[in-house]
Structure 1
Amino acid sequence: MTEWKTEAPGSDRVLERLMTLHPKIIDLTLGRIERLLAALGHPEHRLPPVIHVAGTNGKGSTLAMIRAGLEAEGKTVHVYTSPHLARFHERVRVTGELIGEDALIALLERCEAANGGEPITFFEITTAAALLAFAEMPADYTLLEVGLGGRLDATNVIARPAVTVITPVSIDHQQYLGDTLAEIAGEKAGILKSGVTGVIGPQEAQAIDAIELRAEAVGAPLAVANRDWQVWEERGRIAYLDERGLLDLPRPNLIGAHQVTNAGAALATLRRLGVSDAGCEAAVTRAEWPARLQRLRRGPLVDIAGPCELWLDGGHNPAAGEALAEALRRLPARPLHLVTGMLNTKDVAGFLRPLAALATDLRGVGIPGEAATLSARETVAAARGVGMKAEPAADVAAAIAAIRADDSDARILICGSLYLAGRVLRENG
């Protein structure tokens, strides 16, 4: 069994080496990871009960609430998420704790040796390392977040999870998943398994039709939002209703109306696992998930902002823009200024359009170290295209300083990309 130790520098060199094993960062298939898992003795067959979460938006927040509810019941939980924000170790939590540096290096090197130099993507080999870690440390549950899509995602190697979850599906990653909502939802529904309940968050008609078609094909019973369970806001609290009865709970501590939707999917999952009412309340009040409309309260960037509020969000598609706009409307009134950097694979105008009516202006920035980043001027052009006042900035710190100089009462929101959010969290300590 691997020994879990405290963190120390050193895993970056191994991770960089693994990046060279396949020319494509994304190349969806299960063949390579199935080969590697077989060489490792099939750790995916020895995991604690798995909760497998797919969807376009809300996967991470839903998973964080499920984790909080299970841990409140005294359960130990392994967690695999992606991408990371500041450090790779965030992707792998072993019995609730970030994986230690020495353990991570040992696992990655075991996977590298077992792979024998064969082509394999970075996500596939690091997923194998996470599954190996989870198989070798006892726990009550394993939470797996799909990386991209579902059907051909490297996490989709679990024959019989305890529960599957599909959060709201929207248009994103068309180059990999298809051009229509139905095609994308069909890919997400690839995680559904025969005889395993699939908890389905609110969906548009095309998406739920595709999900139900897949469920019927594989024999997966579904627990569908607004049919088998409901969640809504009422008098500053949330109500959740299913066949077990009504729950009256505080609003989620994660900010935004969309987090009520995410809470519903988490609660539907927890109820199917037999979690108590107290555990369900902990799910919505104790969950933590960084860079989801997160208020930054200390650090060098906060010092630059001075009297201004500084917020951070990693949403990057049109549905995320809508949810972000709705959440911002609920905050106490204050002039909103955006600092935005995005990748050239995203629908920039679609993300910004819901925010255009709320924001005083936007400073466009590039994302350092990301080959697919839009330049500051390209982001500015997209913002102007949806009617926003916008100008480029050299970097995030310069943008914050300029906003503060113009408006000391500003609410500054850094947004547009999880990669930008990760960079901010690292720079802000």
Structure 2
Amino acid sequence: MPRPAEIAGDTLALRNARIVLADRVLLGSLLCRGGRIAALDEGAGTVGEDLGGDWLLPGLVELHTDNLESHLNPRPGIDWPTLPGLLAHDAELVAAGVTTVLDSLRIGEDPQLPGSLATVERVLRATAEARRLDSLRADHLLHLRCEVVAAGVVEDFERLADQPDLCLVSLMDHTPGQRQFADLAAVRAYLSSRKGLEGERLEAYIEERIAFAGGRAPAARAAISALAQARGLVLASHDDATPEHVEEAVALGLTISEFPTSLAAAGAARARGLGVVAGAPNAVRGGSSYGNVGALALAEAGLLDVFASDYVPASLLQALFLLAALPGWDLSRAVATGSATPAALLGLADRGRIAPGLAADLIQVGLAGELPIVRKAWRRGRRVL
């Protein structure tokens, strides 16, 4: 490690940290130059900022979060200004330890959720403006969630397919009776609590949603998959419930299974080489909101590759530490589910691990009681929290 006088302005030096590496946790010090990790040394060290024995983790890589939508539409019928909403979302993610985020935005027009294409387009404009102003803390990429039963979803995808930030495409079907909503009793309970629907109104709504699907899903899945593959984009299925769903995904060239709803589907995905993504809120809450398989049950069965924060950014770091406490897991393996593995599945080879030559995307993590919290964060060696 260099002497203090040798540390230049573009250099970050950190010491006395429990550094979470791919295969172990090392008490050591770290040097970064030009936004990349330059060197690791064992021992508490004498040069640089003292992290007081806290953990030093790679910045988290979030491949599926709906959090931006809640900032843009904080209440039904309320549209919030896009740039302030994006920056609030960005700050929340970095405070949760996320330094790379795929903003997961829905496409496919639906009377219940109007204006989805317009929302994506205004987010793209706001992201470009935020970059121009150098006001983003995390690295923002795009994940298009394609509702395959929605009108015009293929045309919407064609309009957006060549966006340079597009990194992931997922195929969803939220029709009652399908996939995540296969259990109609759970669907009725959800709609009753979320939308206040009961009796005949509830049944009419379910019938309306089933009719809305209109048999469009198979053709839309095939068309979007072909368009995405032609551009070299990563494809994911969503809410696989059965091995047959997994086989359908494999046939279309998908490589990720997001939120499988059963052990059978997750096992089939693993057998066919798909990366298995589970929801961090599921792990933190101790189970699925819809009665589907628990995220930690997937981990205990050896069928978990990635955690995604879905609708609660802070759940991601908490889920990693819960995972590390399970038999057969440790902190290095658990942290990889929120960093190295999603980066690898997305083809982001320059991040997700702490190793010389990789991006200096780092988070300092301490404990508040038993709760892991992010004390500081750096992206490309620049302090962002």
**What TM-score does the superposition give when structure 1 sets the normalisation length?**
0.27
The structure where helix makes up a greater share of residues is 1
The structure where strand makes up a greater share of residues is 2
**What TM-score does the superposition give when structure 2 sets the normalisation length?**
0.30
